[in-house]
Amino acid sequence: MIFTSEIFEITSLSLQVSLLATAISLVIGLPFGTWLALGRFRGRSLLLSVVNTGMALPPVVVGLVVAMMLWRSGPLGGLRLIYTPWAIVIAQTVISAPVVMGLTAAALEALDPRLQQQLLGLGASRPQMIWHLWREARLPLLAALMAGFGSVISEVGASMMVGGNIRGQTRVLTTAIVLETSKGEFERALALSALLLIITYLINLALTWIQQKGARK
């Protein structure tokens, strides 16, 4: 496959939307997952079960719900986001955020519960305590980030439904692979698949290197 400007454009858009969705998921999922892990309140178990269910949400279902919300006649139709890269970011965030939340909660719950009391006993404020807990659980939290990114970079159903796979606007690597396969262009589809795998591997390799470097400290 010749790496044309269109291929670079598709690759760039794939990285932009997936990295942005992962970043937003981290901003949402890290504090919410921490709240679920450390909080003691009525309904906590129910919320945890909802988050754990969200970790296995089918992307096509997410795509359907987000498309209905963003459709012209939907409650958010006035924003005119349907069939734009932002629509893909929203859908991918909905997919990724529960993954980050659930793994964050699990990582913090796995810590020794006495650590919280020790930190508070030493005079740490609650924000300082949470920061130290995050540092203590930094390796599994980084794994949560990797899982969140992995759940969206390879996603196709939601991106197709809310983005429309429009050439030059919303076509990403996964939807391009589906298109080439439907046209019978299997060599091109395989080449795009290989490119997607290489990109995913390199990003996860970098995150794994950071994780392993942190483990040696």
Domain-embedded: residue 105: yes
pLDDT in tens, 114-146: 888 888 788 888 888 889 999 888 888 988 998
Domain-embedded: residue 93: yes
- Give the CATH number, domain containing residue 142: 1.10.3720.10
- Cβ-in-10-Å burial (0-12, 13-18, 19+) of 139 comes to middle
Domain range spanning residue 42? Answer: 15-170
pLDDT of residue 216: 61
Domain-embedded: residue 202: no
Q: What percentage of residues in the chain have a pLDDT greater than 90?
A: 47
Domain-embedded: residue 199: no
Domain-embedded: residue 31: yes
Which backbone phi and psi does 135 adopt, to 5 degrees? -65, -40
Q: How many CB atoms lie within 10 A of CB 214?
A: 13
Domain-embedded: residue 53: yes
Show Cβ contacts of residue 58 under 8 Å, excluding neighbours closer than 6 positions. 157
Q: How many domains does the chain have?
A: 1
Domain-embedded: residue 193: no
Average pLDDT over residues 90-115: 92
Residues in the chain: 217
pTM: 0.89
Domain-embedded: residue 5: no
pLDDT in tens, 68-89: 999 988 899 889 999 999 999 9
